[in-house]
Amino acid sequence: MHSFRYTQGELFAENVSLQSLAEQHGTPLYVYSKATITGHFTRLDAALGQLDHLICYAVKANSNLAVLSTIAKLGGGFDIVSAGELYRVIKAGGDASKCTFAGVGKTRDEIVYALEQGVYCINAESEAELRYINQVAGEIGKKAPVAVRVNPNVDAKTHAKITTGKSENKFGIEFENILEVYGRVAAEMPNLQIKGLQMHIGSQLTSVDPFVEAVKKVVPLVQEVKDKYGIQFFSIGGGIGINYKQSLDSGDEGWWQENSEVHPLTVQAYAEAVVPHLAPLGLRILCEPGRFMVGNAGVLLTKVLYEKRGAAKTFKIVDAGMNDLIRPTLYEGWHMITPLKQPATDAVEKVDVVGPICETGDFLAQNREIPLVNEGDYLAVLSAGAYGFTMASNYNTRPMPAEILVDGDKATVVRERQTLEDVLKGEHIA
């Protein structure tokens, strides 16, 4: 569900005209809906209500301070993967004691910072990392709360670059070795407190089946670890997919694809499938959604600069490029693109929507039928709230776009557009 609708011929975010925002603040421009973020959090929170649970939002999806503050005020925790993300959470008013620190390559400085701030848990991805955390914790006189990430070797059937739960992925420790690793932690690493067990099988899952397969496989292991080492929580990771092709006037949660197949992965279906397997554990359950929380809450606004008609293709050249939104290039990500002015007819044209970056791979859509638009018109790239700005760059020395949070009829600039001076700040001629 989202809060973007056509109203009186213009595309709105909640009660604010996106056309007015584009004209006032320029493009490229990211716009987020606070109501959408809040709605997704509260629905997931309610769906998991039978469990002692904590929703730890995956900061890497969208780390804007205003987004983090919104989730913190809802009572959410945070899944972080760097000291920088922990710093952001704290600056946004989040609670470090509700943060889990994941990632395969934590440095000494990051481990020290996390322990000093009192994070809920550090999720270790290898035995070598566990030994290093033990060493660092001992050197600073701390006891580090840790969980081991198990790799259940479950195929999430998602894009190869965002699957994390198979044996060939770099994440986690093999399922068969977990008990031995916990045994060595208990016997050989006195500066560690065994606090939980964690898993995460991938991102953008549009079927409940991989979740169920992973949970059913890992729950007996969790029970055994609980019995032997008294763990307090089981983290089931994130990965709930979003609908990148949802109608602007649709309020359902269904996943609609080009073949019109509707996937059953709603929040309710997800909870109904996994909660019965988790409840008997009697543990706190952590859920770590990222894309689900913010993906459909954001749009990227861009302006049509030129039209180029060639022998093979027609190109709509816009002012947003792969440096602003890299998902189409990196993941073959599909984003709905629609004009800010509601089309007067159903007429469409097959075009490539491309940006100004000097790369053939710089596109937002290829061979896409979109409504007829002209030079000077504004477009919205939908479902751009996750892995949009956080993966943006200054490639081609292009300043980063501004970000705006809409709350009802109020629009606030929550990140100013970079200037060229900002881009060059810190550089020096030798």
Report whether 239 belongs to an annotated binding site: yes
Report whether 385 belongs to an annotated binding site: no
Report whether 331 belongs to an annotated binding site: yes
Residue spans of beta strands (DSSP E) within 228-297: 233-235, 255-256, 262-263, 284-287
CA 331 distance to own-chain centroid: 14
Are the C-beta atoms of 302 and 211 separated by less than 8 Å? no
Out of 56, 99, 287, 358, which one is annotated catalytic? Answer: 358
- The SS3 call for residue 109 is helix
Report whether 387 belongs to an annotated binding site: yes
Rounded CA-CA distance 59/119 in Å is 15
- The SS3 call for residue 212 is helix
Pick from 255, 251, 258: nearest CA to 243: 255
Report whether 182 belongs to an annotated binding site: no
Please return the burial class of 361, using the count of CB atoms within 10 Å of its CB with bins 0-12, 13-18 and 19+: exposed
Rounded CA-CA distance 162/218 in Å is 21
Rounded CA-CA distance 34/156 in Å is 30
Rounded CA-CA distance 297/404 in Å is 12
Q: Which run of H or of E encompasses 50?
A: none
Tokens of 184: 């060595």
Rounded CA-CA distance 177/266 in Å is 33
Active site residue 121: no
CA 84 distance to own-chain centroid: 16
Rounded CA-CA distance 200/86 in Å is 20
Binding site per annotation, positions for pyridoxal 5'-phosphate:
239, 288-291, 387
| Residues that are catalytic | 358
Binding site per annotation, positions:
239, 288-291, 327, 331, 359, 387
